[in-house]
Structure 1
Amino acid sequence: MSQRRQLPMPRPRELLTNSSHFFAFGFGSGFAPKAPGTVGTLVAIPVYWLIADWSLPLYALWLVVTFALGVYWCERSSKALGLHDHPGIVWDEMVGYWLTMLLAPPGWQWMLAGFVLFRLFDIAKPWPVSLADRKIHGGLGIMIDDILAAVYAWLAMQLLAYFFVG
């Protein structure tokens, strides 16, 4: 039996009756048997597609609200499961992707580039992402390392856009 199968998981019914699990597990994408963080990031793409044309203030508000709610939902879900930063908790990846895409040029190529860059930095965890991952706990700890990884990915996206678009 794999280690993933031994982890405490919310029952599928709980996903529909517990809003913290529903959102923390990325609308169910965190149940993916392999690479749930990658699957959660993929689920963030259609949401991004829906909000990509929002004004900068509205998009920034979206990021602040989804981050704050993520701290709350991820904290509650991880406490209910008795495991800090459960691999199935993927809301942090979703918000990280949306941050990566802030001010990105339009087009599927840029959505793909944002996906690749965010996953790269989220998996590699360069300093201070790795430090935050180890030292900050609770819902804030679950969210902040992905936000820091997204800052790296956002900077890379902006550099790419500068050289290839502008």
Structure 2
Amino acid sequence: MKWVASLGGIGFLRPAPGTWGSLAALPLAYGILSFGGFWFFVNLTVFAFVTGWIATDRVIRDGDDHDPSWVVIDELVGQWIALLPVGYGAGMMGADLWRLWPGWVAAFVLFRLFDITKPWLVGRADRMGTAMGVMLDDIWAGVFAAIGVIVLAGIAHGVLM
């Protein structure tokens, strides 16, 4: 379970294991979206959430730390949620994923911003002190980042001007 929770050991990289976990999520998302499409990516995001929740619960059950820094499966899930608008947009428009590179950058930066600062629901989930809280704070950060990506895309494409 430690291998799953640490995303194959990526969580042990220093400094900033959460950032490493988020970075690792990017090429994985690109590969999944390229070869499996948007709905496969959505299904794998749900699978990663459930798997991450179980793995995190098992690794924190007997410890003093409810959210060890090396647990980064939650970053993968949150980062993938932040990328959902990019994957959907590329699929809907038939565009190459690389052409939406500003969306990839925005998703990464916004997700890390919300995950680090922990505003509102992100912070509330983080304070739960449970495996669900570990996963949920990154889900909220991913949702907020995804909304930000949509707003920025709307501005960039003149829809919201």
* TM-score, normalising length: structure 1: 0.81
Say if 2:95 is the partner of 1:142. no
Please name the residue that 2:149 is paired with: 157
Please name the residue that 2:9 is paired with: 28
The correspondence for 1:119, drawn from 105, 112, 115, is: 112
Give the whole-Å Cα distance in 1 for the aligned partners of 2:16 and 2:8. 15
CA deviation string 1:45-87 (max 9, x = no partner): 1101111244443222112111111100111122355421101
2:33–2:40 contact (8 Å) kept in structure 1: no
The correspondence for 1:109, drawn from 102, 110, 123, is: 102
> Residue 89 of structure 1 aligns to a residue in which SS?
coil
**Letter of the aligned partner of 1:130 in structure 2?**
G
Q: Could you list the runs of 5+ residues in structure 2 that have no partner in the other structure?
A: 91-96
The correspondence for 1:99, drawn from 81, 97, 106, is: 81
* TM-score, normalising length: structure 2: 0.83
Please name the residue that 2:94 is paired with: none
Please name the residue that 1:47 is paired with: 28
- Kindly report structure 1 stretches of 4+ aligned residues shifted beyond 6 Å: none
What number of residue pairs does the alignment pair up?
Answer: 146
> Residue 87 of structure 1 aligns to a residue in which SS?
coil
**Letter of the aligned partner of 1:116 in structure 2?**
V
Q: Name the % identity.
A: 37
Give the whole-Å Cα distance in 1 for the aligned partners of 2:150 and 2:81. 12
Q: Could you list the runs of 5+ residues in structure 1 that have no partner in the other structure?
A: 1-19
Please name the residue that 2:40 is paired with: 58
- 1:31 offset after TM fit, Å? 0.7
Give the whole-Å Cα distance in 2 for the aligned partners of 1:126 and 1:42. 21
